């Protein structure tokens, strides 16, 4: 098949999923064209069947905000015609599904590509429900030939919020189990972060308020009062500075390491004992899946899409958002029981492998592409 993929190229779950999907499809012999304003951040090496087309949006004094959505649409139409793309697969309804809709109006004299939109969460639960985006988001979703969501939780939320009547296909996020595994070649040494008797707790995010980084620090504070432990904070974002202040205020400086953005997270995760993701919104929680695949039990929130990734009391624990006391208690009890911790670690990588391995999920995308093309 010939597929165009558009995503946000910056660090973030949706960009990672889109990029890895493109790479896996290219490995299977499909021709994949990425169309975006920058090279997706994990698309860092040459691969056969993979192409990148940059979208340039000229800054002009009249435009306060250069109209990327329009230049993207024009580029999508151009590439669709040049390469006879069968599918434009866009990640995020806003603005990518809108651009794809426009692109299709521009295509003349060549086959019209089908539009598939994958919903990742933030556009629906936060941006999409902003009244000024509501109608255009709903329109763009409805105008797609196929719609997928990364969890049933998100599919339900989308249908309810936007009163979508079309069927939304749930295709979960996936993981390259060869890359994310309990023991990886070139993996960090546990001793770089902690002493032999200390547990390693990890959190990865873009430090947006929705991730509740202050809860991460609170859980860690409670836990490290009872057990020797270190906290690794990976990623950067608007609340990094608040997190640093909070760590200072709680006198946790000697126990917390800020690692910033990391490209080879799979080299760090396997040294962890527990991963914290206490987000108030999480349509899926790719960061949690990466931890699980590396054999790290996850403590997260029950009122999110994490319920489809983490099995409470099997490979982690889920509590109500903000219940940092239960999260800390669960962590302390798990870390204090060596056999149970070992079982959770084994369950974590086994379940991630069985349910979310790239081979299985990429096949689901391939099947869905065929269904839309034949429909």
Binding site for ligand GMT (CB under 6 A): 12-15, 17, 120-122, 150, 173, 206, 208, 210, 281-286
Smallest separation, CB 261 to ligand GMT (Å) = 13
Nearest residue (CB) to ligand GMT, 173 versus 202: 173
Smallest separation, CB 237 to ligand GMT (Å) = 8
- From the list 283, 211, 265, 201, the residue with the least C-alpha distance to 243 is 211
Smallest separation, CB 153 to ligand GMT (Å) = 9
- From the list 206, 273, 197, the residue with the least C-alpha distance to 235 is 206
How would you label 323-339 residue by residue, b for 16+ Cβ within 10 Å and e otherwise?
Answer: bbeebbbbbbebbeeee
Smallest separation, CB 130 to ligand GMT (Å) = 15
Sort 170 into a burial class: Cβ within 10 Å, 0-12 / 13-18 / 19+. Answer: middle
Smallest separation, CB 250 to ligand GMT (Å) = 25
Nearest residue (CB) to ligand GMT, 17 versus 231: 17
Structure tokens at 254: 């000697």
Nearest residue (CB) to ligand GMT, 153 versus 319: 153
Sort 34 into a burial class: Cβ within 10 Å, 0-12 / 13-18 / 19+. Answer: buried
Identify the residue whose tokens are 């349910």.
Answer: 355
Nearest residue (CB) to ligand GMT, 95 versus 121: 121
Smallest separation, CB 170 to ligand GMT (Å) = 12
Are 267 and 328 in contact by the 8 Å Cβ rule? The answer is no
Give the C-alpha separation, 89 to 100, whole Å: 9
Smallest separation, CB 124 to ligand GMT (Å) = 8
Nearest residue (CB) to ligand GMT, 249 versus 320: 320
Nearest residue (CB) to ligand GMT, 202 versus 283: 283
Q: HSE-up of 362 (CA within 13 Å, CB side)?
A: 20
Nearest residue (CB) to ligand GMT, 15 versus 95: 15
Q: In what order do the strands lie in the sheet with 316-319?
A: 256-260, 229-234, 199-204, 274-277, 298-301, 316-319
Q: DSSP letter at 312?
A: B
Nearest residue (CB) to ligand GMT, 126 versus 241: 126
Report, in angstroms and rounded to the nearest whole number, the Rg of the chain calculated over CA atoms: 21
Smallest separation, CB 281 to ligand GMT (Å) = 5
Give the C-alpha separation, 280 to 17, whole Å: 21
């Amino acid at each position: 098949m010939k597929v165009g993929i558009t995503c946000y190229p910056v660090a973030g779950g949706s960009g990672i999923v889109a990029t890895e999907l493109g790479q896996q499809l290219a490995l299977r012999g499909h021709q994949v064209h990425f169309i975006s304003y920058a090279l997706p951040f994990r698309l860092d090496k040459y691969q056969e069947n993979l192409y990148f087309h940059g979208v340039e949006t000229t800054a002009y004094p009249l435009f306060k905000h250069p109209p990327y959505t329009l230049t993207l649409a024009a580029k999508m139409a151009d590439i669709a015609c040049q390469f006879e793309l069968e599918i434009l697969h866009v990640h995020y309804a806003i603005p990518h599904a809108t651009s794809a809709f426009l692109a299709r109006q521009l295509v003349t004299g060549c086959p019209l590509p089908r539009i598939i939109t994958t919903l990742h969460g933030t556009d629906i639960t936060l941006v999409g429900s902003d009244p000024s985006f509501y109608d255009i988001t709903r329109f763009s979703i409805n105008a797609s030939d196929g719609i997928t969501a990364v969890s049933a939780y998100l599919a339900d939320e989308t249908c309810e919020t936007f009163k979508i009547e079309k069927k939304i296909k749930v295709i979960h996020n996936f993981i390259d189990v060869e890359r994310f595994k309990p023991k990886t070649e070139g993996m960090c040494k546990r001793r770089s972060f902690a002493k032999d008797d200390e547990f390693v707790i990890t959190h990865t995010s873009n430090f947006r308020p929705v991730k509740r980084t202050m809860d991460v620090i609170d859980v860690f504070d409670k836990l490290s009062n009872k057990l020797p432990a270190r906290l690794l904070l990976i990623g950067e974002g608007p609340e990094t500075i608040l997190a640093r202040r909070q760590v200072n205020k709680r006198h946790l400086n000697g126990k917390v390491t800020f690692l910033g953005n990391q490209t080879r997270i799979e080299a760090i995760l396997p040294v962890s004992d527990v991963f914290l993701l206490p987000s108030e919104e999480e349509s899926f929680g790719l960061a949690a899946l990466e931890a699980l695949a590396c054999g790290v039990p996850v403590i997260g929130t029950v009122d999110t899409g994490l319920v489809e990734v983490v099995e409470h009391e099997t490979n982690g624990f889920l509590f109500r958002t903000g219940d940092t006391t239960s999260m800390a208690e669960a962590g302390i009890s798990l870390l204090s029981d060596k056999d149970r911790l070992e079982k959770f670690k084994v369950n974590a990588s086994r379940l991630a492998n069985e349910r979310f391995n790239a081979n299985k999920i990429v096949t689901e995308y391939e099947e869905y592409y065929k269904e839309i093309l034949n429909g």
